[in-house]
Each structure stands twice: as structure tokens, then as C-alpha cells.
Chain A
Amino acid sequence: MSSEFISAIGEHMVIVLASVAIASALGIGLGILSYWKKSLGTIIITICELIQTIPSLALLAMLMIIFGLGNVTMGSALVLYALLPIVRNTHTALSQLPPALIDAARGMGMSRSQRLVKVEIPLSIPMIFGGIKVALVNSLSIAVMGVLIGAGGLGYIVYRGIQQQNMGRIILGAIPVVIGALLFDWLLGNVEKRLAKHARL
């Protein structure tokens, strides 16, 4: 059974990390967009908040109707749920930059994209990273439900435990999730702090 356990952990992590990676790319992009165009920004963030409110089983089941069973469906759900923390943090970080800095950059003749790449994003990294951290920790837990729609991961172990009324197996499936959540929270929290120090002028 331990090889089944190890491969479940592996599969779980691949799905979670891949989804958070995709959500990061997408989320940062949407965050920047909502910063550049305020009206669009409100709509984007409202939609992300709306998605967050949808019960996870409901969203998962609805995605299954579109994408069928399997890891792609679970991944899509994770990406959708990961958007809000990342988009919101990106937007907030960019919006909270001291106007003096932005003026200085403008004064130096930088275009909007140059300003973004050379000044605004670097200073926003700690907060963006914080959003990614939250997304990662949440995804670890949500991904357990994957078993219900034919995806892999630790949910399989938990579900087998439920079916066999085996508390040990249920807990076994949960341990990597809880430990992973605590670990990532602590680890990435430290990285976040270090990045914040670097970003300070």
C-alpha cells in the first residue's frame, strides 16, 4: 500500500502545483489588466469573488459536465479557485505603490510596460507571492475532492478509507495535505518576508 500512497502524493502534488502555476500566470496577467483599466478591474475581481463563493463540489460537478472525468477537470477547478487570491493581491499591490515612485518612473521616460516590468512588478512581488501562497495552501485541500470526478491524488486514499470504514486510511490521506499546507505556509511565508525586505527601497 505504501507505493499506492507515494504515487497518490505524487499525483496530488503534480495536479496542485501545475494548477497553481497556471493560475499564477493567468492571475498575475488579470491583476495587471485590472490595474491598468480600473473599470475592467472591478468586473474581473467581482467575477473571481463570485467563483470563490460557488460550492466546490458544485463547481467540480459542473466542470465535469464540460471536461469529463479526470485530472483536467480537477485542474480547471483548482485554477479557478486560485484566481481570486492571486488576482486580488496583484491588483492591490500595484494599486498601493507610492504615486511618487510612479511619477519618478514616468519622469525618467519609461513607457507603461517598462514601468511595469522595471518598477511596479518588482515592488509588488512580496504581495503577489503572498497570494500564490494562499492559493497553494487552499488547493492542497480542495484537490482531495478530485476522487469524486475520477481524478487522482490523495482523495483516492481517503475515499477508500471511507468505503472500508478504515480510520487509519482516511487519516493517512489527510496527513500529507495538512502537513503540506503547514509546510508551504511556513516556507513560503519566510520567502515572502525575505522578498519584502529586498523590495524595500
Chain B
Amino acid sequence: MDRRTFLTRSGGVATVTLLAGCSGDGGDGDGDGSDGNGDGDGDTPTATPGGSTDTDGGEITIGVLLPFSGDYAWVGANVLPVVQTIVEEINDEGGIDGADVRIVQGDTEGSPDASLSATQRLINVEGVSAIVGPTSITMSAVFDQFAENEVPIVTPTAGTTSLDTRGGEWVFRTVSSDSLGGRAIARAARDQQYNSVQDYDRMALMVGDKEVFQSFKEPVQTAFEEFGGTVTTAMDIRTGKASYQSEVQSMMDSDPQITTLIASVEDSVKITQAGFQAGYEGNWFATQDQTNQEFLAQNDNQVTNGMLGLTAAPYQAAQEAGRIEAFRNRMQNAAGWEESKTFDTNTYDAMNVLGLAMKQAVADGNEVTGAAIAEAIPTVAKPPEQTVTSYTEGAQAIEAGTDVDYEGLVGPINFNEYGDIVAPFSIKQAQDGAWTEAARLPPEALQ
């Protein structure tokens, strides 16, 4: 191929990719309310032209910043449909002050420089007013961006303990911190009433070497000892190995009664099966990542029967009032979900809070800017105002001039000064390929 042909072809490829980049979206309004230059993208049912975030006929953009590819693609896949469902509800109710809400995805790919440019794109090119996400994996790399650009975020997934005292101004979360989750595991293991099996005295820890797993390690260990137990060994294990026979052997050598396993689904399958084959007679305790159907389906019932798992419990009040059931049905209709998905209820609460905060910002007489939303987030979830449990209910109340207190599916959703919430936990036990609830752990039990 001669130079000319090659240059022409590569020039063609380059042009196409550049065009793909430049075509971006129709408007470039950003969260600061500066003047946007709408490109007038034609008449369509949903999108409206113009990008300024002023009232009447504008558009408000919410970013969903999560892994949509790679090992954690399932997180993005679980969260996005719930966000879409709520956004549809918001737009059906007339949007925010007449403006429709639009969703844009940013794929963090679980990698720092990818998540930095994804965050930049959402904030500066797409002009998002708020963000759902990110996960613990990329939080550190992009944390500063939110305060600097005045874009509030509500994350339904990031439990990392490194966020425990950093949020509250721009960063909020509708998922319990791993420090609470870790304590819950310790409490439940020590106390038969919370696990329905026995009081465990000797516990081993096997923790994967990624932040999302390591975040649990110290809380479990400290709390278990605090509650009077003995940690026989606390091992860091390399994720993604072919087999874990040596590690399992070391664990068994320390003679635990139960092993808390904090790792990915596939590594956990290998480890529990290795334990089975090595004759491990103790029990296993899993965290939210493995307490789901995928883990049981990939594993063998012989291995998993009797295993314990920690998940966020649905909020008692919500369950009794039938709201959990209603949410399940709704997601089944909207996305064809046959069972609950990790982080689905957390996302429901996160997006409702965001929607109500935007509504509240308008009601307070402000434009829908990031700063106004950030200020409104704690307000719309704080008692003792009128309790509301859905966006529609809350929106109508706000329009009528009442202050609201959103109560969610995960818990009462009262953000503390650091943007954290407390939520009850549920201890599940696996039996014949399904997880059933063994006990409930209210937040008070963790003191």
C-alpha cells in the first residue's frame, strides 16, 4: 500500500473518530447557569433544543458515572435502569420547572484516568447538574472534581471507609459505609440471635486486595475483637488467581469456626470450592458482593448450604407498607428484572433524593444549579417535615409549599454531617441455591 492510500485511509478513520467526538450533544449548557448555545436539534418527543439551565423549555442533565465495562460493569447495569425509571417519573410529572431531565452515562471503566476524563466530560461537556455515582474504585481519583466544579453527587454504591468523614457538602451516599457493614458482620457472627446458627468465637478473614474489599477488613476485625471474639488470621489474597488452594490451607491451619470472605464472586467461588474439597468444616460469611443469585448459581449447593451473607435490609417501614414489593413490580415491568439486583433500592433512594432536591431548589426561588441542589439534598431528607416516600408524592408536596422528609426503601435516609446514612442490615443464609433471611440487624445493635 503506498503512502497516499494509507494516508487517505487513516485520514478517513481519523475524521470519522473526530466527528464522533465533536458531534457531542446538541447543547452545551453547564451547571453554572452560563449562557448555553443550543444547536437546535430538531423536533423530537423527548429532547428539547437549547442547553441553558434557565426555566421554560430547557433541559437538566444528570450524569450516571459508573463502571459500564470491565469487571464491575454489573454495577452500572444495575443502577442505570432504576435511574431511568425515576427520570421518566420526573418528566411525566412535568419535569423540573418545565424542563425535562436527561441522563448521560460516563463509563469509568474502573480505571483512574478513564474516570477522570469521564467525569470531566460529564461536568464540562455535558453540563450535568448532579451525578449518580461513582463507585469506591474511582472515588479518590475524581473526588476533588465535585467540589471544584460545584456538582453534587449521590452515590448508591460507594461504601468505602475512606469516604466516612469526607462527604456532606457535595458528596452524599445512600449506601451504608463499610465501617458499619463490617461491624454488622462481626456482631452477627458473635451472636446466634442474628445468624440463627451459633455464637462464633473464632473467625478467619480472607480479603481481596482491592479497595472495595479492603475497606471491610479493619471494621470486621476490630469489631469482632471488640465483641469478644478471636480473629484467627486476617489474610490479604490476590484477586484473579487461578486457584487458591494454598490460601485456603493457611486459613484452615488457623482453625476458625467461620471465615469471612470479602472478595469477588468468581474468586469466592474458587475459594469456597477449594475449602469444600480440602475438607473445611467451618462456615463462611459473605458480603453484599456475593450475597446474590449469581454467586449461588455459579457455585454448588453442597458448598454454599448454610453459608451466611450480609446485605442491606429493606427498611422495615417500607416493607410493611408494601413499598418494596411495589418497587420490585415496577422494575420488573420497566426492565424485565426477575429478582432484586444489588444496589437497586439504594439507587431508587438516591435518584428520588436528587429529584426532590432539584424541585426544592426551584421552590426556594433558585435556578437549578449544582450549588442549589447540594444545599437542598440534606433538607429534603430531614425530619420532622412531612414524610414522603416517592418522587411524585414529594414533588406535589413541595409545589404546595410544604417541606418534605423523604424516607426511602433502604432506610429513613437522614444524611449526617458527612453525607452518610444508617440503614438496617439483613443476615441471609443460603439454602438449596437461594438466599433466605435469617435475621435482621437494626442499626442500634451495632453500638
**A and B assemble together:** no
